[in-house]
Every structure is written in structure tokens, then in C-alpha cells.
Structure 1
Amino acid sequence: MIQNSYRKCRSFYHKFRFYCKVNWTKTLYFNFKKLPFQTAKKLPVFFYGKVKFSSIKGDIQIDGKIQKGMIGFGQPYELNKAHKGIAEINILGKLIFKGKFQFGKDCFVFVGENAVCALGNMASMASAGKLICSEKIVLGDYARFGSECQIIDTNFHDLIDTQTGDKLPKSAPIFIGNYNFMSNRVSIMKGTKTPDFCTIASNSLATKDYTSLGENILIGGVPAKLIRNNISRDWQGEKQQLDDFLTI
């Protein structure tokens, strides 16, 4: 009986600590401002710590079964727990969640006007990440990015061919496959496409279509190139752990 009471008290304590980390002002405002009432009342989006809403006038779409806290922004799921307080979102276009998604601490998310950004189920971006979408970015299911990664589909500025005077494309869509694992400080630039079960090494720069290399590959370097075939993160072995750990 004493042991059972202890477990209940411990469970209550952990839940209390967790809910104290939620930024309830931003959480309630965002859900009821951007989502239909029947969806908003389930509070599918949680914000943690300090976050700046530069703009949230764009469209927010959540596909699949709606669950409380299925999308976390600033979610403390990593080893480092402290927030720098520089998290910011600027949503002018369309942001689609295909299921559960986690943003780590201090991320910057920008979706420009007329741009579409679709984020796969159980995909994530760890702390200090940047996602800048001016045209189109699609992340597959379980596309997981380490800390300080950046996904940018634009050059920001026009570039020209100095011999012909022709303007070069400023932006190009990014497509990241299912079950991709990007280590820390990986940069995904415009026009990048990766196959399913692709791993990218730390401090790499991806700039092109890698799908012809096939699945179960490790790429890396500046710019990224094939390092090894027949290698993958143990997704099947980790799947239940990820589901349990990242679900409220």
C-alpha cells in the first residue's frame, strides 16, 4: 500500500513538473487562434519556454488523430535543459503537420507567403535549429535532425551568370525521405532530395539530389557525398522508445 501511494505521488510530481514547463499563455493563444475549436480544445500544440510569435497569420494544418501535446515547440527532450529564450516562429504561408512533431529549444521557423512546409509524423528538429521555407520543404516520417541543423530552400538573394547575365534560381524545393537521421550541424540547402533510410554525418552540407544512391546510405562532407552503403540507424529497435519518450 505504501509502495502504491509512493508511485502515485511520484507520477503526480513528474506531471506537475512537466506542466510547469509549458508556456500556457502562448499554448492557449496559438491553439484557439489558429485551429478549429473542436481541435483547439484538445491542445495539440504545446509551447515550452519563451517564444516570439513574429507572425502566425499563415495556415496551420494538422493531419491524423488529434492528441494533446502531439506537437511540441521548445520541447525539452534533449540532454540540455536550459532555454536561451531566442525561439521564434514566423508563419506566413502554409505549415502542415502529418502527425506528431517536436521542435527542440531555441528554434527558428519561417514559412514565407505562398510557401508550403509539410512535416512528417514523428519527425523532429533539435535545439537551435533553423527551418526557412520560401517555396517548399517536405520532411518524411521519422526525419530527425540533430542540434544546430538548418534547412533552407533559398539563397535569399538573386545570383546571376556574369557571362550571360541570366538570373539563377533563387529557391528550389527540398524533399527529405522517411527514416532519415541528420546528425548535429547539418545544413540542407535548396534542391536537396534524400532517399528513405539516409544518414548524414555531422557538419555536412547537402546541396543536391541523392536519391539515385539508393536507400540505407551514409553521406557526409562539404559538399556531402557517399561515404558508405548498407548502413542505417536502428529504427526498428528504437521505434517503441521514441514513441514512448516523445509522446506526452
Structure 2
Amino acid sequence: MDKPLRKLYYWLKFQLSVNWIKTLYFNFKKFPFKVAIKLPVYFYGSVKLTCLKGKIIIDAPIRRAMLGFGQQFELGTRQKSVAELNLSGQLVVKGHVHIGKDNLLYIGLGAYCEFGHMTCLGSDVKLFCTNKIVLGQWARIGYQSQLLDTNFHSMFDTVTKKRLPLSAPIYIGNYNSIANRNSIMPGTKTPDYCVVASNSLLNKDYAYLGHNILLGGVPAKVIKRNFSRDWEGERKGIEDFLIRKK
């Protein structure tokens, strides 16, 4: 296949991957016309827009497809068609954001969720925000992970009868590499330049432990210090692969 035909093939393949009905509907419903016409949010594949009564703010220069919901960037190519967005609260986007296939994003009434530049949610991630969830720039969450800032059910001490907090904010630092199948629970705080091993449970403040650490376990603890993902070595390749050029 010569170069012009190859370019045409990939262009057609991309156009067919976009859910144009949901993309156009969302942008023109949620943004002023001068923003909506640039189509800053793209939906790919099947997605259910359960509620769009909340607010989305893009706190960055507006570009086409800067937030991709349902993007294909992992090795698996099939979808389960269970992607869902419930935007009842406020979502703030501070740059390019990449959300994989089959994600569930629930941002409840009165809740605040913030995605930093180059935030990434792998496939089949579940995010439940009823209070506050902030993901720093280059915070990348592996597939089949879950972020929950609430316990959903009221709990109490059976001796003192004291009610335990129902929810607590989650703060994920900048340049965090959180592997697959992790549970990030209410009250979690991570420092910048943090790596989290697979199948771990984060449920407290780890920010005081300092940068360049590897966390892991149930519940998570420091496994190794002076440990970091090679962000500078990967940066250009990730940006070239995930950021749609005009």
C-alpha cells in the first residue's frame, strides 16, 4: 500500500471509530458555540450518557479531541459496550485527557472532579466521585482500577455509636503511574512521582512519604524508594500516540 492510500486508510479508520452522534450532541449541549464548534471532546465506540446536568470546564487552550472518552490505546481492541458517563457535578479538564474503553465515570451532584494535563484512565476503570477527586498532570491509572471517594453506606462504631465519615477527597499527585486493578479509596493522597504496583489498596495519606517511591500491598505501603517511571524518556512517544494533531 503506497503512502497516500495508507493515509486514507488510517483516516477512514479513525473517522469510523468516532461516535459522531454522541460527540456532536455532548459538545453542543455543554459548551458555548465558539467552543463547541472546535469539538474538544470526542467519544469513541458505544457509550451511555446517563446524565449531563452537571458542568464541564476546560481550563486550557481549546483544541479538537483534547478529551477522548473510549480511546483505543491498549493492546486489547474489543469493547464490552458498557461505557457510561454520569455528569451531575463539576468536571474540570486542565489539558489533554485520555479515557480508555468501557469506563464508568460518575460525578455526583455537588461533587468536584479534576483531571490534570495528560491524565489517563485505562480501560474498564470505574470512578465514583461524590465529594472530590483530583488527578494531577500525567497521573495515569491502569486498567480495571477503581477510584471511590465514598463508602456509599453509613458506618458507625458499635461501642461509641460515633458515625464514621461517609466520604473523603482523593488527591493523586503529578506524574503518578498507578498499575492495573488497584483500588483507590476515600482519603487517599499520593505524592508526585509515585508508582503503585498492581492489585494494591490505597486508603490513606501517602504524600508525606516523599517523591520517587513505589507503593504496593493491601493496604499499600512503601516497597522501594528512589524509584520512578522514566517520564522524560516516554513523554514524546506518549504525546505523539495519544494527542490528535490538527
Quote the residue 1:43 is aligned against: 39
Q: Distance in 1 between matches of 2:32 and 2:200?
A: 40
* 1:193-208 mapped onto 2 (5 Å cutoff): 193-208=189-204
CA distance in 2, matches of 1:7, 1:67: 27
2:162 counterpart residue number: 166
Task: Tell me what 1:100 maps to.
Answer: 96
Say which SS state the counterpart of residue 159 (structure 1) adopts.
coil
* Matches of 1:229 and 1:211, distance apart in 2: 13
TM-score (norm 1): 0.97
Distance in 1, matches of 2:21 and 2:218, equals 42
- In the alignment, the residues of structure 2 paired with residue 214 and residue 8 of structure 1 have an alpha-carbon distance, to the nearest angstrom, of 51
Q: Which runs of 4+ in 1 moved over 3 A?
A: none
Q: What is the letter of the counterpart of residue 22 of structure 1?
A: V
Tell me whether 1:225 sits opposite 2:221 in the alignment: yes
User: What are the equivalent positions in structure 2 for 1:174-213 lying under 5 Å apart?
Assistant: 174-213=170-209
Mapped partners of 1:227, 1:36: distance in 2:
48
| Structure 2 equivalent of residue 8 of structure 1 | 4
1:8 shift after superposition: 2.1
What CA distance in whole angstroms lies between the structure 2 residues aligned with 1:82 and 1:134?
30
TM-score (norm 2): 0.98
How many correspondences in the alignment? 244
Tell me the percent identity: 53
The residue aligned with 1:60 is 56
TM-superposed CA distance for 1:11, in Å, is 1.2
CA positional deviation for 1:166 = 1.1
Residue 112 (structure 2) aligned to one of 112, 116, 119: 116
* Cα deviation, residue 51, structure 1: 0.5
Cα drift, residue 19 of structure 1: 1.1
RMSD of the alignment, in Å?
A: 0.9
Q: Does 1:144 find its partner at 2:148?
A: no
Q: Which runs of 5+ in 1 are unaligned?
A: none
1:97-149 C-alpha deviation (Å, 9 max, x unpaired): 11110110000000011100000100110000001000000000000011001
CA shift for structure 1 position 67: 1.0
Secondary structure of 1:19's match?
A: helix
Shift of 1:12: 1.7
